[in-house]
Each structure stands twice: as structure tokens, then as C-alpha cells.
Amino acid sequence: MRIMKRPNILLTGTPGVGKTTLGKELAQRTGLTFVNVGDLAQESQLFEGFDEEYQCPILDEDRVVDELEDKMGDGGVIIDYHGCDFFPERWFDIVFVLRTDNTNLYNRLESRGYIGKKLQDNVQCEIFQTIYEEAMEAYKEEVVHQLPSNTPEDLERNLEQIVQWIEQWMKDNN
């Protein structure tokens, strides 16, 4: 039996924009595999040192890439991470950068327990569209798409659009 080819999808954007919420639901609806890079790093201890300023471990990007390489080769993976320039470009068939309005994002991060500089820096990251620019540099312009992620209606619309895109991709590639 010939195995169906399935696309790899990157969900990126500032912390709090809704990557995990979207990614998990997308995996439920499509059967694709959801991978949260932060969780993966935690489980397999893929870190290299500790960031004193932000009080968090520093991701060992090379080991993350090694850890995921085989799975990505098989296809059908949804990756969730707040950075995107260290993944091999060839991994992804499409890249979504989720975007949230400042006040909205501020409130979400505050209820997540972020305070002070960490809270400010993350909101500023969104204002400066840092991750969008990172994505535009790391991937071909035509595979990078921004998605508004402010309301439950946005979430549902994004889900429906991506599900449709996946169905079309599978028709075109099988």
C-alpha cells in the first residue's frame, strides 16, 4: 500500500498568540501530529544552559532539529514554536505567523503569570512583528501567511482555512 503524503506545517508567533490552542485542535481535526517544541525540549532535556535574565533554560536548537528530523521526513507534522529561523527551510510546506493585538496579548500573558520585563519584551516582540520578519527571512515569501488570532471566531476561521488547505495539498500531492 502506498502511504499518503501529508504536509508539514509551522505555527509560529510571539508567546500567547494562540499557537498551541490552534495546533492541538488542528491535529484533532486532521489526524496530523502536533509537536510543541517547548514541551519536547522539556521531555528530552534539549537545553544548553540557563538564561539568567529571563529565568528559563536555553533551547539547544541543533539537538531539537536532530530529534525531529526523521519525523519531519515522514510528513504530517504540526510544529509549534515562538521562533522559526533555526529549523531547516525544507521541512515546511507552509508557515503561519499568528498575530494578536497588543492589549489582547498583554492580558493573555499577564494571566499566564508574566510580569515586568518578560511581559513588556513579549508584547514589544509582537508590536515590532519580530517573528513575522524572522519568518519572512527564513522562508520563501509565498509560504508565509499571517493569521489574526484575537477572538474565538478568528480561531474557528483559521482552523477551517487550514483544514481546507491541507485537503487541497493532499489532493495535489498524492
User: Rounded to the nearest whole angstrom, what is the least distance from the CB of residue 18 to ligand DAT in the complex?
Assistant: 3
Q: Nearest 10 degrees: CA dihedral of 39, 157, 138, 117?
A: -60
User: Rounded to the nearest whole angstrom, what is the least distance from the CB of residue 109 to ligand DAT in the complex?
Assistant: 8
With b for 16 or more beta-carbon neighbours within 10 A and e for fewer, the 161-171 pattern comes to: ebeebbeebee
User: Rounded to the nearest whole angstrom, what is the least distance from the CB of residue 3 to ligand DAT in the complex?
Assistant: 30
Please identify, using beta-carbon distances, which residue of 129 and 150 lies nearer to ligand DAT: 150
Evaluate whether 82 touches 13 at the Cβ level (below 8 Å): yes
Which of 5, 63, 71, 108 forms a contact with ligand DAT (CB under 6 A)? 108
| Binding range to ligand DAT, per CB under 6 A, among 60-68, 126-134, 135-143, 150-158 | 150-158
Distance, in Å, from the CA atom of 24 to the CA atom of 142, rounded to the nearest integer, reads 25
154 touches ligand DAT (CB under 6 A): yes
End-to-end CA distance of the chain: 13
Name beta bridge partners: 64.
Answer: none
Q: Which residues bind ligand DAT (CB under 6 A)?
A: 13, 15-21, 108, 149-152, 154-155
Binding site, annotated residues: 16, 18-21, 112
